[in-house]
């Protein structure tokens, strides 16, 4: 065992030896007969396990046959969805989900149809009559058995409808099979990005810990994912000492998450073990992150009872605060990565035959007969029921509604916000007085203090708002912006993180999906590139891909440091990059009042928001109303009236534009109108067009590199919609199309200035 940490944090240099612990593997020795005798399973539950595995296999074999044109119930049907089947792996999701509650969560991988069916079946079998009736319209007159079977078939139908891209699918055809989720049964969705759902699951578990529930998250991901950076970041995140040591306050409680590795031994076409991994068993990964090895074990993933046993033990301990857990299930998929992969280039027939000889379904069938739970005729009836259920669901799904092309962008954004804080979430008693902003005689405070004031007020208003990032707690962040928040709200709501930008953003997605409203900080916007998948493919897309089932209310604060001599990796203005990624709002305030008002609005909207802050503006002061002050997102502000030329800008380009306008008026007799966009997505184009139509001339300016800049998008939109009103070409201002230099003389040449904006405006006249 590891030695205890020194509480005084002084150097400890005494020699020691530390064991990495013991990883157990394939320790389960039970059978259905022994489980029945022990009372850990009933005969009915055993048959439910078989039915669940058969349901998965029938749906996936239907996909295989559709691809080959051999599915008799749908002759000639053109199936164009994903073909990443998990045939052979059925025991893993069915065994695991059989011991999860309805309100427990799962996440899944691109091979997630089976996981979706398993979680749905397990949840539906636990539902009350009223809950079942809510899922199956028109079934009120049936017996309980008929109602249950109708609900199971409805679940299969909605899964298949999503595979077929139909409006009646769980994601309304927007997500498809690789992103399928049924949030009503706790399934937070499958993920086409290998490992992409692991930080989401971790964030969901973090939210359950924060809310002090006893819910558990089971994170299904394949063996290939466990070489992925964000997955390893997530394991480290879940195992952090601060969840359970004295820093956690009065409620030490580990994250209630089970990392369930569906190890089918092939990443895509290559062997995971014996080729691209340096450990014999992936359960060994746990030793690298926690002194208790994350309770890691390897189990027989071809034995549904072994899976059930392991996950039952893990859930019980997670509910008692003993998580996280790492379970590696050794299993096998009988087909290639997809149906376009014949698998004969890297597998042998003998290998496949050996795995098929221990097929999970056939194994359970034998034990059911041996234990006297059912005879061969009874098994045949269960198989026929599963086959006919899938056929009916498939035929019905094929005839379901194709989404209306006019609704192609439906669910891209939500129009809802947390205007009212529900119940107990609105009762917040701070642990200490809120930080006080130093106001000038005119009520002016700094841009930095305005942001802190907004965050503090929103945390006081709504306890679902939590805040975390690198060095933001005791130290107050690299720019001291959040100093004092820890004392006011405690470590449950304000805490430091590892240097793991992808996990910071990914856990925020998971926490937001299950009900929190996280605000996270990226010290520099450059670091957003480390987290780009979790921002662009996860935060931005889940409302759309789920067909509006969930919203993702989170704010990612990112500072921009151009003009401070920090060079190429700490100075980039990357807002333009994220405007190209639909599904996320991009906000960039230019002054203290807007900084406060926009951040408060960003925290309240149910859309994900990338909130960009200029380090150069942090010390700038402005008059900011004390108390409630909201600025609507998507509304530009005409900060200076003029009649000769319009200057459209955002962020630190706004004070430059105002300085340019002053000189234009004083020295050139030119009345420039300055429009501060404030938010790039959504874009208030109408205010811009109205100004350009009045002045007939336009300069668009920002501090971003001009090549590929959002400047060009604004120019194009003006050109398209107000061409006849223009008296001159539109001028563009931005940084040079190069890398931000460190040398002061070079940086001055690199960045645009007020003089550049003035010269461009004069040139149009």
Q: Which of 678, 688, 679 shows the shortest CA–CA distance to 648?
A: 688
Cα separation values, 711 from 409, 648, 680, 730, 759, Å: 24, 9, 10, 11, 17
- At 249, the pLDDT band (50, 70, 90 cuts) reads low
How would you class 504 by CB atoms within 10 Å of its CB: exposed for 0-12, middle for 13-18, buried for 19 or more?
Answer: buried
Q: Could you please report the per-residue DSSP string of 526-545?
A: GGGGGGHHIIIIIITTHHHH
Alpha carbon distance 244, 377 (integer Å): 53
Q: How many CB atoms lie within 10 A of CB 729?
A: 12
Asked if residues 219 and 260 have their Cβ atoms less than 8 Å apart, the reply is: yes
Residues with Cβ within 8 Å of residue 638, at least 6 apart in sequence? 673, 674, 675, 676, 687, 691
For β-strands 645-649 and 621-623, DSSP reports them as: unpaired
pLDDT, average across residues 685-698: 98
Average pLDDT over residues 605-611: 98
Q: Are 63 and 114 in contact (CB under 8 A)?
A: no
- Contact, 392 vs 154, CB < 8 A? no
Q: Is residue 247 predicted with pLDDT exceeding 80?
A: no
pTM of full prediction above 0.85: yes
Q: What token pair was written down for 214?
A: 């006893």
Q: What is the pLDDT of residues 270-325, one digit of tens each?
A: 888 888 989 999 999 999 999 999 999 999 999 999 999 999 999 999 999 999 99
What pLDDT score was predicted for residue 139? 74
Mean pLDDT value of segment 145-156: 96
Give the integer Cα–Cα distance in Å for 400 and 500.
44
Quote the pLDDT of residue 4: 39
Nearest partner of 24 among 211, 294, 321, 409, judged by Cα = 294
- Section 472-490 average pLDDT: 95
Is residue 114 packed enough to be buried (19+ CB in 10 Å), middle (13-18) or exposed (0-12)?
buried
Exposed/middle/buried for 129, CB within 10 Å: 0-12, 13-18, 19+?
exposed
Give tens-digit pLDDT for 347-371: 999 999 999 999 999 999 999 999 9
Distance separating the N- and C-terminal Cα atoms of the chain: 77
The C-alpha atoms of residue 657 and residue 691 are separated, in whole angstroms, by: 15
**pLDDT at residue number 270:** 86
pLDDT at 520: 98
Give me the mean pLDDT over the 603-615 stretch. Answer: 97
Q: How remote is the C-alpha of 670 from its chain's centroid?
A: 49
Distance of CA 224 to the CA centre of its chain: 19
User: Does residue 682 have a cis bond before it (omega within 30 degrees)?
Assistant: yes
The C-alpha atoms of residue 256 and residue 626 are separated, in whole angstroms, by 40
**pLDDT confidence bin for 632, thresholds 50/70/90:** very high
d(Cα 572, Cα 566) in Å, to the nearest integer? 10
| Residue 199 predicted with pLDDT over 90 | yes
pLDDT tens for 721-752 read: 999 999 999 999 999 999 988 888 999 998 99
Q: Rounded CA gap, 83 and 688, in Å?
A: 47
Q: Which two tokens stand for residue 523?
A: 């010290």
Token pair 């874009």: residue: 683
Distance from the Cα of residue 485 to its chain's centroid: 25
> Which element (helix H / strand E) includes 612?
strand 609-614
Quickly list DSSP for 200-237. Answer: HHHHHHHHHHHHT----EEEEEEGGGGGSHHHHHHHHH
Catalytic residues: 501, 570
- 57, with CB counted inside 10 A (0-12, 13-18, 19+), is buried
The answer, yes or no, to whether residue 3 has pLDDT greater than 70, is: no
The count of residues in the chain is 765
For residue 330, pLDDT over 50 is answered with: yes
pLDDT at 482 over 90: yes
Does residue 735 contact residue 750 with C-beta atoms inside 8 Å?
yes
pLDDT surpasses 50 at 419: yes
CA dist 255 and 215 (Å) reads: 10
Alpha carbons 550 and 540: distance in angstroms, whole number = 12
Under DSSP, is residue 731 helix (H, G, I), strand (E, B) or coil? strand
> Six-digit token pair at 725?
């009103």
Q: How far apart are CA 374 and CA 365, in angstroms?
A: 9
**At 392, phi and psi to the nearest 5?**
-65, -45
Taking the C-alpha atoms of residue 53 and residue 32, their distance in angstroms, rounded to an integer, is: 16
Least confident of 30-39, 76-85, 730-739: 76-85
Per-residue model confidence (pLDDT) at position 1:
31
> What is d(CA 28, CA 2) in angstroms, rounded to the nearest whole number?
28
| Dihedral, 415, 199, 334, 25 alpha carbons, nearest 10 | -150
Contacts of 588 (CB under 8 A, 6+ apart): 575, 611, 612, 613, 614, 650, 651, 677, 678, 679, 680
**Taking a C-beta distance cutoff of 8 angstroms, is the pair 74, 286 a contact?**
no
| Per-residue pLDDT tens digits for 563-586 | 788 888 888 899 999 999 999 999
The domains located in the chain, with CATH, are 51-407 (3.40.50.970), 423-623 (3.40.50.970), 637-764 (3.40.50.920)
Chain-wide mean pLDDT for the chain?
94
Per-residue pLDDT at 108:
96
The confidence score (pLDDT) of residue 312 equals 98
> Rg for the chain (alpha carbons), in Å?
29
CA distance 596 to 482: 13
Q: What is the pLDDT of residue 246?
A: 56
Q: For 316-384, give the secondary structure using H, E and C.
A: HHHHCCCCCEEEEEECCCCCCCCCCCCCCCCCCHHHHHHHHCCCHHHHHHHHHHHCCCCCHHHHHHHHH
User: Which SS3 state, helix, strand or coil, does residue 258 take?
Assistant: strand
Rounded Cα–Cα distance for residues 369 and 133 (Å): 34
Per-residue pLDDT, 712: 97
DSSP annotation string for 675-715: EE--EEES--HHHHHHHHHHHS-EEEEEEEESTT-HHHHHH
C-beta neighbour count of 554 within 10 angstroms:
30
Confidence band, pLDDT 50/70/90 cuts, at residue 171: very high
Strands of the 679-681 sheet, one edge to the other: 494-496, 467-469, 519-522, 555-560, 609-614, 585-587, 679-681
């Amino acid at each position: 065992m590891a030695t205890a940490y020194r509480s005084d944090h002084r150097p400890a240099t005494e020699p020691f030896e530390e064991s990495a612990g013991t990883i157990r593997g394939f320790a389960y020795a039970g059978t259905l007969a022994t489980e029945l005798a022990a009372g850990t399973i009933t005969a009915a539950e055993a048959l439910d396990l078989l039915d669940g595995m058969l349901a998965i296999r029938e749906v996936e074999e239907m996909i295989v046959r559709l691809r080959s044109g051999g599915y008799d119930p749908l002759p000639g049907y053109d199936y164009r969805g994903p073909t990443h089947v998990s045939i052979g792996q059925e025991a893993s999701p069915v065994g695991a989900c059989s011991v999860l509650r309805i309100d427990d969560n799962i996440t899944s991988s691109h091979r997630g149809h089976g996981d979706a069916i398993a979680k749905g079946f397990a949840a539906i079998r636990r539902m009350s009559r009223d809950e079942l009736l809510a899922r199956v319209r028109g079934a009120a007159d049936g017996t309980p058995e008929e109602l249950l079977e109708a609900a199971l078939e409805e679940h299969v139908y909605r899964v298949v409808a999503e595979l077929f891209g139909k409006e009646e699918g769980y994601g309304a055809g927007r997500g498809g099979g690789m992103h399928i989720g049924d949030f009503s049964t706790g399934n937070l969705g499958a993920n086409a990005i290998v490992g992409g759902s692991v930080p989401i699951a971790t964030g969901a578990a973090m939210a359950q810990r924060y809310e002090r529930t006893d819910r558990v998250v089971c994170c299904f991901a394949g063996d290939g994912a466990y070489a992925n950076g964000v997955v390893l970041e997530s394991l480290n995140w879940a195992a952090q000492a601060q969840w359970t040591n004295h820093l956690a306050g009065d409620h030490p409680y580990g994250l209630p998450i089970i990392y369930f590795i569906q190890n089918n031994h092939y990443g895509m076409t290559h062997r995971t073990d014996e080729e691209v991994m340096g450990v014999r068993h992936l359960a060994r990964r746990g030793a690298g992150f926690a002194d208790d090895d994350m309770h890691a074990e390897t189990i027989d993933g071809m034995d549904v009872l072994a899976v059930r046993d392991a996950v039952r033990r893990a859930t019980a301990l997670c509910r008692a605060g003993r998580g996280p857990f790492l379970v590696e299930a050794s299993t096998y998929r009988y087909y290639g990565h997809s149906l376009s992969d014949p698998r004969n280039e890297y597998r042998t027939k003998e290998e496949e035959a050996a795995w098929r000889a221990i097929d999970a379904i056939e194994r359970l069938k034998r034990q059911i007969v041996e234990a006297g739970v059912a005879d061969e005729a009874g098994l045949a009836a269960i198989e026929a029921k599963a086959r006919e259920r899938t056929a009916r669901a498939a035929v019905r799904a094929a005839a379901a509604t194709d989404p209306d092309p006019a609704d192609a962008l439906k669910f891209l954004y939500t129009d809802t916000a947390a205007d009212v804080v529900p119940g107990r979430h609105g009762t917040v008693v701070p642990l200490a007085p809120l930080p006080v902003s130093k106001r000038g005689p005119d009520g002016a405070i700094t841009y930095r203090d305005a942001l802190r004031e907004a965050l503090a007020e929103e945390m006081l208003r709504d306890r679902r708002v939590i805040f975390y990032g690198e060095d933001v707690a005791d130290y107050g962040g690299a720019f001291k912006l959040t100093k004092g928040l820890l004392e006011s709200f405690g470590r449950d709501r304000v805490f430091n993180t590892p240097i793991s930008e992808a996990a910071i953003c990914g856990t925020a997605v998971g926490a937001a999906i299950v009900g929190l409203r996280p605000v996270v900080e990226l010290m520099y916007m450059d670091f957003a590139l480390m987290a780009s998948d979790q921002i662009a493919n996860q935060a931005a897309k889940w409302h759309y891909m789920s067909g509006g089932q969930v919203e993702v209310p989170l704010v990612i604060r990112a500072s921009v440091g151009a003009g401070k001599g920090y060079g190429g990796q700490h100075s980039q203005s990357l807002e333009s990059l994220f405007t190209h990624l639909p599904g996320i709002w991009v906000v960039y305030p230019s002054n203290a009042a807007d900084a406060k008002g926009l951040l408060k609005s960003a925290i309240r909207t149910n859309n994900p928001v990338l909130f960009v802050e200029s380090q150069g503006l942090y010390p700038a002061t402005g008059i900011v109303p004390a108390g409630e002050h909201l600025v609507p997102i998507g509304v530009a502000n005409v900060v200076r009236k003029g009649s000769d030329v319009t200057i459209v800008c955002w962020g630190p380009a706004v004070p430059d534009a105002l300085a340019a306008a002053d000189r234009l008026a004083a020295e050139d007799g030119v009345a420039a109108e300055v429009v501060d966009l404030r938010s790039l997505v959504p874009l208030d184009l109408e205010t811009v067009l109205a100004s350009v139509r009045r002045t007939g001339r336009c300069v668009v300016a920002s501090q971003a590199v001009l090549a590929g800049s959002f400047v060009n998008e604004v120019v194009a939109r003006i050109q398209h919609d107000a061409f006849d009103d223009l008296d001159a070409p539109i001028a563009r201002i931005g940084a040079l199309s190069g890398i931000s230099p460190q040398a002061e003389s070079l940086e001055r040449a690199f960045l645009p200035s007020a003089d550049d904006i003035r010269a461009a405006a004069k040139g149009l006249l």
